[in-house]
Structure 1
Amino acid sequence: MPQQLLLLSVVSVWLLAGFFLADATYYSHHVYNLRHRTYSHRASNMDNQLPQVVPTEPPVEVVPPRLHNFSRIFYGIMFDAGSTGTRIHIYKFIQKDPAGLPVLDNEMYHAVKPGLSAYADKPEVGGDTIRQLLKVAKKTVPKEEWRQTPVVLKATAGLRLLPEEKAKALLDEVKDVFDESPFFVPNNSVSLMNGTNEGVLAWVTVNFLTGHLYAKTRRTVGILDLGGGSTQITFLPKSKKTVISAPPSYIARIDMFNSTYELYTHSYLGNGLIAARLATLGALGADGLDWKVFTSSCLPKKFREDWTFGGLTYKVSGIPDGYAGYKLCYHEVMRVVKGIIHQPFEVKGNSVFYAFSYYYDRAVESGLIDGSRGGVVEVRDFKKRAKEVCNKMTKYRPISPFLCMDMTYITCLLKEGFGFKDSTVLQLTKKVNNVETSWALGATFDFFHNLNIH
């Protein structure tokens, strides 16, 4: 209960301060004139900017029924279409009274596998997975609120890796499914999100939920998000040298709380955990999948199997007459990381990073942390456990034959890629105050403020 009260108070403070500042009305008879929120970016490449949303049509006015006790509940639905699964986040907000500010009450989360990208050649089947998740939304959101509840889908690396025409066909199918639904479908309700947004909005979610965004100390935590197709790093630099030495497109600005946050952020497409498996095997972008067998010393010697990702099937195998183990595996995954990942100047310091998605999942599977509570580890702990898993592949094979490869890749990504010290502290978590640590909540906030919902 104290955690929930903390979360409610944090959300109230955020809304009071005008988070992602914009004119907005939250399904209420009272209009709150919040200052306009802006994003800016040092790079001239528009693909890397957090977009300004310019309404092309007048906002849709949805007038809620007048309640005698002035209490009002409303919802927002955000779909995260990732490379390995599609997730639905249903956020419930409460308007205490007409003159007050709404607060975030809770989140309903559900996921299906595989991701939309697996249906690249069958978009209508991909649409059925969205219908399945919309059934969850219908059960969660009261029927009288359906027509006033916005539904939004943002696709990430899985669709960014697809040919443009196939990605568009999937997104068009999702839009058709949304239009069939009883929920409110705003303009641009289905879109492909760029990597900069993904990293920044995940940083917003975590620092919002941990209470850092409303603290005057400007002490924040960095985030490390490891998806299937891409990986993101975002943090607030303490040293000007970090900003000066970074590629211009790696620095993003956000104006909020009467302050400007200049973030270091980048998304590495193709360096997510599953894409890295393919790259390690030499299968990423390869042809001849019908007859080629892709081998690795990161896999158990007697392992051989067909493995499907992104709608393609690969024949993968260990090396029956060769060697396997941590050292050889590390040498293989090094090729996927070395010279590709930029090393920010100050990550060699003592900053604290929250790490989630596959960082969390693999730490749980390898026994590094408890699956129900998460935990605090150092980078050296990933290395130590990776060695143990790789040198005892038979023991860990029932969990996953790819566990050695995955743990070694995570170790290599942290150390050789980003340049973290062995002593860097990582807070591994799946939820903060019972809300998923992903970009979805940050995107929902951003969406509400851009749309001017009445």
Structure 2
Amino acid sequence: MSKCLLKADVRYLVALLALLGIITLFLILAPMKDVFLLPRTKYGLVFDAGSTHTALYIYQWPADKENDTGIVNQVETCAVPGPGISSYADNPALAGASLKPCLDKAMTIIPAKLQRDTPTYLGATAGMRLLREQNSTKAEQVFAEVVKAIRQYPVDFRGAQILTGNEEGSFGWITVNYLLETLVKFSFAEKWEHPQATEVLGALDLGGASTQITFQPGGTIEDKNTSVLFRLYGTNYSLYTHSYLCYGQTQALKMLLAALREGSSSPQRILHPCYPKGYQENITTTDLYDSPCVPAPSTPSTAQVLTVTGTGDPVACRTAIQKLFNFTCGAHRTCGFNGIYQPPVQGQFFAFSGFYYTFHFLNLTGQQSLGHVNSTIWAFCNTTWKELVENFPEEKERLHMYCSFAVYILTLLLDGYKFDEHTWSSIHFSRKVANTDVGWTLGYMLNLTNMIPSETPQQGIALQRSMWMAATVTLFIMLFLCFWLFTAICHQRKLVSYETF
């Protein structure tokens, strides 16, 4: 073909090939270049509708990162006024109205142009689980009102639900390990990576109506009802998790009070060994027996006023609290309490919510020894009400309950979850990590928005390969067309030469 080409044709061919080379090079290098755009921010809202109160958590993250999974930060927390939504069973409209001050606050934080793209969730825990057991119709009415209230705001509302106990424990575990970067870590190369040789931490949660324990055991989980499997960023996690309904600190101490009344010589007068000496209060039987956790006596009676008097006896307090549990394991070789299977605790643990707040008040969140913890609690429980009020005037509303809370936590962790003097040091009492509250809400949002994918994203690699293939095919086609074009030109010139001849 080259013999029939003129010099001009050769120049055209060279120019065309150069152009094809530039185009191909651009296609190859394009996916390797960073595209600089203005940073985008996304927001997320999660209501934690607990048994005693509701809180709104406002999260944000940079959306220009890989798979829209930039590091999540907590922007703000808003405490919803009033009690938990389950308390509005007889007036459900108030449950919805109670959420509005915090929603209004969120609208001042999230830019208006981003509000309609803000995923919003409400998760209810043990308080609503108990109400559903007690009266499912009232539970549905409360939920209908909170949904109606949230839908009045310009957000991407994705639903309200009652979490199971295992979900509550599992999402708390995800939150802990996400914040501590044991699941995924954002590298200097601005990519999420699974950290190598990093152990995950267990999660210990104590609410008002339930308590959860979640951890990765050393062996096989024998009871599948306590097993949950997560695949996060290409790594499988087989977790043990269990939630004990009625063993949150509020409900447990109601059970304690009912048990003390049952053992009292006078049903109207209760001597309480966990309350400080010199403290006295009146409660009604209606308030005491208002939960499925505390069944009313078999012989019903009209509402009565009960007088509760503190005796400040920590030994009797611990004995009374231990009677709330059944520590016999039955058919299980290893168990927690009440016959529930539990493998031996293993690894480090994060203890938050009620565990943290009580121990923080007693200044016991600094990894002190079990001996020091015991002596501190015993000394506090032996302090009279008069001395406590003088020392802690700002805590007067809950001050009489801290001995009960502390002894209950010790009993739950040591006798219930089977920590001992050797494993006690593995428990870290904490409220926040990196200015973000530890609890189930962040893990819940991360899971529902798929911000921790089950597999490592391969989108960038796939795109790069596809561009290479497109560039190669394009070059091949263009070269074929060039070859065909100049072959045709040569053939035409030969015919002209023959005709001239």
TM-score range normalised by the length of the shorter chain = 0.7 to 0.9
Matched, 1:192 2:162: yes
Q: Is the 8 A contact 2:209 2:248 kept in 1?
A: yes
Unaligned 5+ residue runs, structure 1?
A: 1-66, 370-374
Query: Following the alignment from structure 2 to structure 1, what is the Cα–Cα distance between the partners of residues 289 and 140?
Result: 15
Deviation at 1:358, TM superposition (A): 0.8
Matched, 1:212 2:182: yes
Matched, 1:384 2:375: yes
Unaligned 5+ residue runs, structure 2?
A: 1-34, 185-194, 292-302, 328-336, 454-501
Gap change, CA 1:117 and 1:96, over 3 Å in 2:
same
Q: Give the secondary-structure state (helix, strand or coil) at the position aligned to 1:238.
A: coil
- Number of the residue aligned with 2:318: 330
Query: Following the alignment from structure 1 to structure 2, what is the Cα–Cα distance between the partners of residues 299 and 137?
Result: 40
Residues 237-256 of structure 1: pairs in structure 2 closer than 5 A: 237-240=217-220, 243-244=221-222, 247-256=223-232
Deviation at 1:71, TM superposition (A): 2.1
Residue type of the partner of 1:362? T
Matched, 1:368 2:336: no
Provide Cα deviations, 1:16-51, integer angstroms capped at 9, x if missing partner.
Answer: xxxxxxxxxxxxxxxxxxxxxxxxxxxxxxxxxxxx
Query: Following the alignment from structure 2 to structure 1, what is the Cα–Cα distance between the partners of residues 350 and 113?
Result: 38
Q: Give the TM-score of the pair, scaled to structure 2.
A: 0.67
- Number of the residue aligned with 1:446: 447
- Number of the residue aligned with 1:41: none
Q: Give the secondary-structure state (helix, strand or coil) at the position aligned to 1:109.
A: strand
Query: Following the alignment from structure 2 to structure 1, what is the Cα–Cα distance between the partners of residues 349 and 305?
Result: 36
Q: Which has the higher helix share?
A: 2
Deviation at 1:403, TM superposition (A): 1.1
- Number of the residue aligned with 1:402: 401
Provide Cα deviations, 1:87-141, integer angstroms capped at 9, x if missing partner.
Answer: 1111111123798753324431121342112222111112121112101211111
Gap change, CA 1:277 and 1:404, over 3 Å in 2:
same
Residues 53-452 of structure 1: pairs in structure 2 closer than 5 A: 69-96=37-64, 101-112=69-80, 113-162=82-131, 163=134, 164-186=136-158, 189-214=159-184, 215-240=195-220, 243-244=221-222, 247-282=223-258, 295-306=271-282, 317-319=307-309, 323-339=311-327, 340-341=337-338, 342=340, 344-347=342-345, 351-369=347-365, 375-394=366-385, 395-396=387-388, 398=392, 399=395, 400-423=399-422, 424-425=424-425, 426-449=427-450
Deviation at 1:146, TM superposition (A): 1.5
Deviation at 1:300, TM superposition (A): 2.6
Provide Cα deviations, 1:200-243, integer angstroms capped at 9, x if missing partner.
Answer: 01001101111111322251111110101100000011233xx2
Query: Following the alignment from structure 2 to structure 1, what is the Cα–Cα distance between the partners of residues 179 and 103?
Result: 26
Q: Give the secondary-structure state (helix, strand or coil) at the position aligned to 2:400.
A: coil
Gap change, CA 1:256 and 1:179, over 3 Å in 2:
same
Q: Is the 8 A contact 1:81 1:155 kept in 2?
A: yes
Residue type of the partner of 1:122? N
Deviation at 1:318, TM superposition (A): 4.0
Q: Give the secondary-structure state (helix, strand or coil) at the position aligned to 2:439.
A: coil
Q: Give the secondary-structure state (helix, strand or coil) at the position aligned to 1:90.
A: strand
Gap change, CA 1:114 and 1:278, over 3 Å in 2:
same
Query: Following the alignment from structure 1 to structure 2, what is the Cα–Cα distance between the partners of residues 192 and 417?
Result: 26
Q: Give the TM-score of the pair, scaled to structure 1.
A: 0.74
Residue type of the partner of 1:385? T
Q: Give the secondary-structure state (helix, strand or coil) at the position aligned to 1:93.
A: strand
Q: Give the secondary-structure state (helix, strand or coil) at the position aligned to 2:41.
A: strand
Residue type of the partner of 1:422? E
Query: Following the alignment from structure 2 to structure 1, what is the Cα–Cα distance between the partners of residues 341 and 417?
Result: 5
Query: Following the alignment from structure 2 to structure 1, what is the Cα–Cα distance between the partners of residues 116 and 304?
Result: 44
Query: Following the alignment from structure 1 to structure 2, what is the Cα–Cα distance between the partners of residues 158 and 179?
Result: 23
What is the CA RMSD across the aligned residues, in angstroms?
3.0
Residue type of the partner of 1:232? Q
